[in-house]
Structure 1
Amino acid sequence: MIRRLLRGRVKSDYQISYYRGATVRRVERGRRVDWLLDGMPVSESRAREYMASREQTA
């Protein structure tokens, strides 16, 4: 909880869940944006690449 306070307030937070449990989450705090793929931090390009690949199979 203290780490959350030090990082700043959350401006936006959204999550996309895919079939079979895969999730992509984007959390914006101030000027910083964190991308998480199944709970693990990844780069924005990696997260977008994963979302694009899942859209093609849908």
Structure 2
Amino acid sequence: MSKCTASEVIRLPRFTAVGAMALAYVIKVMGAVEPDEPETQALADQLLAPLARWSVGSSAR
């Protein structure tokens, strides 16, 4: 699976409300990271770990 930017994802035809909510979540989590407080990065890593591990397989239609 190729990587794409947030602006490219938003233009995808299959971008759904769930995708929009996931993107908003990532933005909020990353916005809470403070460079001078390493524990905020550690928390962000934990909060985003399930999304980082998530893989979308092909579905039978």
The alignment's TM-score, normalised by the length of structure 1, stands at: 0.33
More contact order relative to length (CA 8 Å, sep ≥ 6) = 1
Higher strand share: 1
